[in-house]
Amino acid sequence: MFLELKAQATSILKDAIQKAGLEIEDSELYFETSSYADLASRAAFRLASLYRQNPKELAARIVSAIEIPDGSYIEEVSASGPYINFHAGRHYLDRTVATVLEEKEKFGCGAPKDKILLEHTSANPNGPLHVGHIRNSIIGDTLARILRRAGYDVEVQYYVNDMGRQIAVVSWACERFELDLSRKPDSAIADVYIKANVELDKNPEYIKEIDALMEKVEAGDVRTIDSFNKAVSLAISGIKETLLRLNVVHDKFVSESTFLKSGAVHDIVERIKATGRTKTDKGALVVDLSDYGFKKTLVIQRSNGTSLYTTRDLAYHEWKAGQADRIIDIFGADHKLISGQLRATLNVIGIKEPEVVIFEFVSLPEGSMSTRRGQFISADELFDRVTEAALEQVETRRPETADEFKKQVAEMVGIGAVRYDIVRVSPEKSTVFNWKEALDFEKQGAPYIQYSHARACSILEKAKEEISWNSSAEIDPSLLVEDTEIDLIKKMASFDSIIDLAARELKPHVLAIYARELADAFNQFYRFVPVIAAEDEKVRAARLALVNCARIVLTNSLNTLGIAAPESM
């Protein structure tokens, strides 16, 4: 709705500027939102410097040339000093309510768009996901949901490292130490992986054994490959379990080794060689990317002839480029340099480059997390503790409810809180994990939004019982005239523009903030406007419809954030 409002305002403003005998670039016709107006233009400032005239006078001149077409969402345009303010009218509010009721779960969806292949998480299968990894999963999964709602056809992939050095260490560790199969499989893998690394640090001569394993895999040795696969699938099964609990879904798990087996790795090395950019440096094959701003060369083949992660990743990206219009990768800050080099190399051989979303690190008070050193907080532990804390809350707040209900709510609230806490801050901020904050539900986070949703559901439920309310009954939205009602409608109306913005800029935190503001608007309405107890029957019907609208948009927001929307909590 808001996107349409903005489009109408843009067209009205453009015509008026032209009619006033002025000219301005389309890129200057953007709006800001403020407490003064639904949309405010600063075009007069730009025109003032262009024409060397007073911006106030120009604003007045443009406003006097404004013509609002019939049926427009815009009701009034006024100049306030140099600002040109656009005010939405009743028609906009009424259409918003009607559209939400009509489109329901589709409200806020964009027109069908291109195919996007999005890769996220892709953590090495050498242990369980930790709180750093799930920042990747949550940003990636939320982005996938946002892009789908924006209209894109999104396929999500997890790239499985099943043949790197770390996996060789895992495989070696599995032969050397007993796996504790009573543990979750990824944790059992981490146990022996950590032990193996201690061993390798003590006795560096074992490194030769690791090298030998990697050479065997690269050469296609069946027994070694089989042992790698066993370890990898154990770890991946545990990782999948964690992701499932987090409500994160991948469409495909793609193994690195497929590109070696298929010959794609060999082919892409040949393609890069053909550019004349490669040379041999101490036996290794390197690419010169100095004209792309990379001072150091990129190694794409070890001196023993084996491939590296980078080489296999190049082949993976070549494959991805062939099956989608856009490729998006979610990477941690440690991948900044390598992803830049990857993009440059792909550019050199004429392959579509990925768009890379980088997020900064989550560290512990004692330093950065490391699976190798066993220094990490697993996602599983976080989920357990957070849902336990949520359960305590449900027990004190809803003691009368059944145990099964309490458990379900605790899971929805706990996992929702984790997802919201991570997605609400921009990816470029580095954070330090802290238990006290992670277990705190008092702030306006996911539970606040979920609670608003539950309240809306509760009103509708009660209305069904007491006055046999029916969601498809005809209503008159123009009876919604209270300030809090209008604020709520306007907030709901902007959902589509939030999805559009988040999708365009690949910024999921924009939606997280919106959802909180929407809940805020609903809670204020809830506090000040009686619904079931409304004095007039028609007003009551309109308000019930508004509550239903709020429920729908809250559900859509929560769904897009991958957070459960409980009907009662």
Partner RNA sequence: GGGCUCGUGGCUUAGCCAGGAUAUAGCGCUGGGCUUCUAACCCAGACGUCGGGGGUUCAAAUCCCUUCGAGCCCGCCA
Instruction: Record the tokens describing residue 54, joined without a space.
Output: 């007073």
Closer residue to RNA (CB): 277 or 424: 424
Task: Find the length of the chain.
Answer: 569
Give CA–CA dist 477/542, Å, rounded. 6
In whole angstroms, how close is the CB of 280 to RNA at the nearest point? Answer: 9
Residue 31 is classified by DSSP as: E
Closer CB to RNA, 155 or 440, in the complex: 440
* CB closer to RNA, 44 vs 95: 44
- Single out the residue of 118, 142, 137, 106 nearest to residue 511, CA to CA: 142
Query: Which one, 178 or 442, has the nearer CB to RNA?
Result: 442
CB of 533 to RNA, least distance (A): 5
Q: To 5 degrees, how large is the angle CA 160–CA 347–CA 151?
A: 65
Q: Smallest gap, in angstroms, from Cβ of residue 285 to RNA?
A: 8
- 10 Å CB burial of residue 434 (0-12, 13-18, 19+) is exposed
Task: For residue 511, give Cα distances in angstroms to 34, 147, 212, 418.
Answer: 19, 12, 49, 16
In angstroms, what is the minimal distance from the CB of 188 to RNA? 20
Q: Select from 484, 482, 478, 456 the least CA-distant residue to 550.
A: 456
Work out how close the CB of 215 gets to RNA at its nearest, in angstroms, rounded to a whole number.
11
Which tokens is 429 given? 């901020």
The pair of structure tokens assigned to 465 is 């019982």
Phi-psi region of 267 (alpha: psi -120 to 50; beta: other; left: phi over 0): alpha
Q: What order of strands is seen across the sheet that includes strand 74-80?
A: 31-34, 37-41, 83-88, 74-80
Shortest separation between residue 248's beta carbon and RNA, angstroms: 19
The smaller minimum CB distance to RNA, of residues 34 and 275, is found at 34
The nearer residue to RNA, 87 or 230, going by C-beta atoms, is: 87
**Could you give the angle at which helices 379-397 and 403-423 cross, rounded to 10 degrees?**
130
Q: Any idea what DSSP says for residue 176? A: H
d(CA 394, CA 388): 10
Indicate the residue among 153 and 444 with the shorter CB distance to RNA: 444
Output the smallest distance, CB 333 to RNA, in A. 4
Shortest reach from residue 216's CB to RNA, in Å = 14
- For RNA, the closer of residues 275 and 528 by Cβ is 528
Q: 115-119 and 326-332 as β-strands: parallel, antiparallel, unpaired?
A: parallel
